[in-house]
């Protein structure tokens, strides 16, 4: 019995040893496979690291080259900018010395016809209200105040008083204007913040409004061209009247939203407009600021084509021209109601080239400044005046 037990023990021991050996062999094979994979991973990692270093070196080299090209390009652009400024200054000088011919119609029959109509409408000599006899000789200086508002609009001071308040009309058909206490308040404001909002009873049409002696004069945005006189102190409509001209056209082809452009100067209130009767040219009317009655009307030889704005100084209307692709604005046609100055006497005045075309130009007689709206920028032009030439 003991021998049998010993035999069984030996047999079982042998089986256990064989199983252990098989397990050890399996584990050894698995470890060898893992070591092979680890070795392959190390090789791949080393290769990727090497490729990444090479890529980094290439990128660093390219970035250094781009930096050098950037500096070179910047230097070239600076040089080009200097040359452009020099050319622009030379152009300003040449244009001042050799102004373009005044913009007049070459059709003699049409000119004769317009002159005849003008004489018929203006048989009575214009009676000047003041002894103002100045005319524009050049633009002395320019200042960009800021940019607030949209592409088209108008800004101005009260042209008939020294209140110092500034008015912003943003857009071509709104009913809310913004009043700033001073020029400093406007320049330091963030947008329209800090301004007093004034709600009008009607929306305005175009950019032809004017503030004169604490009253706003504007054209109501309607099919009927009605002049409205609005009291800015009492916030009430003081008077209104239909503008007495039939079949009206936009007065400026580059700003077709404006049908009547109101202006104020040393002589009072004016209206610049156009009709089908004299469709190729700008017309002018003297307006009574108290009653809105039309005192006198004139047909001018100034074409509407490529006109962008106009203003009046000492009874002389100055029409400003540009092109459909904005270039340089210029005063190229004048009309003096007192016949003291003609196109031949007036120099062609060029505005400094800036952004686009003027949507409005408003003259301040007390400051001898033009308040201009150019693509949302509020700009000031200081005018150089001289005495008119007697003819």
**Residue, of 111 and 152, whose pLDDT is higher:** 152
Token output for 131: 């002894």
Q: For position 345, what pLDDT does the model report?
A: 80
What does the pLDDT average to over 279-301? 94
pLDDT band at residue 68, thresholds of 50, 70 and 90?
confident
For the entire predicted model, the pTM comes to 0.71
Strand order of the β-sheet with 268-273 is 260-265, 268-273, 281-287, 294-303
183 close to 168: Cβ distance less than 8 angstroms: no
pLDDT over 90 percentage in the chain:
51
d(CA 333, CA 323): 15
pLDDT digits (tens, 9 = 90+) for 322-363: 987 777 899 999 999 988 888 888 888 999 877 788 999 999
| DSSP state string for 102-115 | P-----HHHHHHHH
Per the prediction, the chain carries an average pLDDT of 84
Bridge partners of 236, per DSSP, are 231
Question: Could you tell me how many helices (H) and strands (E) the chain has, helices first?
Answer: 3, 20
Q: Which is it for strands 307-313 and 294-303: parallel, antiparallel or unpaired? A: unpaired
pLDDT band at residue 372, thresholds of 50, 70 and 90?
very high
* Residue ranges per structural domain of the chain: 1-98, 105-387
Q: Is the pLDDT of residue 112 over 50?
A: no
Taking the CA atoms of 323, 326, 330 and 331 in sequence, report the sign of the dihedral they define. Answer: positive
pLDDT over 70 percentage in the chain:
83
Give the Cβ contact number of residue 339 at 10 Å: 13
Q: For position 116, what pLDDT does the model report?
A: 45
d(CA 68, CA 287): 65
**Residue, of 117 and 149, whose pLDDT is higher:** 149
105-387 fold: Lipocalin (2.40.128)
What does the pLDDT average to over 314-326? 90
pLDDT digits (tens, 9 = 90+) for 202-234: 999 999 999 999 999 999 988 788 999 999 999
Q: Is the pLDDT of residue 290 over 50?
A: yes
């Amino acid at each position: 019995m003991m021998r049998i037990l010993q035999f069984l023990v030996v047999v079982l021991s042998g089986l256990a040893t064989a199983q252990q050996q098989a397990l050890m062999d399996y584990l050894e094979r698995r470890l060898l496979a893992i070591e092979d994979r680890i070795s392959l991973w190390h090789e791949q990692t080393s290769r990727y690291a090497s490729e990444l270093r090479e890529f980094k070196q290439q990128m660093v080299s390219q970035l250094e080259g781009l930096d050098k090209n950037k500096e070179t390009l910047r230097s070239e652009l600076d040089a080009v900018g200097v040359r452009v400024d020099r050319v622009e200054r030379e152009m300003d000088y040449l244009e001042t010395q050799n102004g373009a011919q005044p913009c007049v119609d070459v059709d003699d029959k049409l000119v004769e016809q317009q002159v005849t109509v003008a004489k018929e409408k203006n048989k009575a000599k214009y009676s000047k209200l003041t002894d103002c006899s100045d005319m524009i000789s050049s633009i002395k200086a320019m200042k960009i105040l800021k940019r607030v508002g949209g592409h088209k609009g108008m800004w101005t001071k009260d042209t008939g008083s020294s209140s110092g308040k500034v008015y912003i009309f943003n857009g071509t058909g709104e009913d809310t204007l913004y009043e700033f206490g001073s020029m400093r308040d406007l320049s330091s404001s963030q947008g329209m913040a800090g301004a007093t909002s004034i709600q009008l009873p009607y929306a305005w049409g175009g950019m032809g409004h004017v503030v004169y002696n604490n009253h706003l004069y504007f054209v109501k945005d309607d099919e009927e061209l009605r002049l409205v006189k609005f009291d800015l102190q009492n916030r009430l409509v003081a008077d209104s009247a239909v503008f007495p001209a039939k079949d009206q056209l936009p007065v400026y082809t580059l700003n077709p939203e404006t049908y009547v452009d109101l202006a104020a100067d040393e002589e009072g209130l004016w209206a610049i407009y156009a009709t089908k009767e004299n469709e190729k040219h700008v017309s002018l009317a003297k307006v009574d600021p108290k009653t809105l009655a039309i005192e006198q009307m004139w047909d001018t030889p100034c074409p509407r084509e490529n006109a962008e704005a106009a203003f009046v100084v000492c009874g002389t209307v100055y029409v400003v021209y540009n092109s459909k692709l904005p270039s340089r604005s210029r005063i190229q046609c004048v009309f003096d109601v007192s016949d003291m100055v003609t196109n031949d006497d007036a120099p062609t005045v060029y505005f400094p080239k800036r952004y686009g075309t003027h949507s409005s130009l408003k003259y301040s007689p007390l400051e001898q400044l033009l308040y201009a709206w150019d693509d949302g920028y509020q700009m000031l032009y200081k005018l150089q005046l001289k005495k008119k030439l007697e003819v």
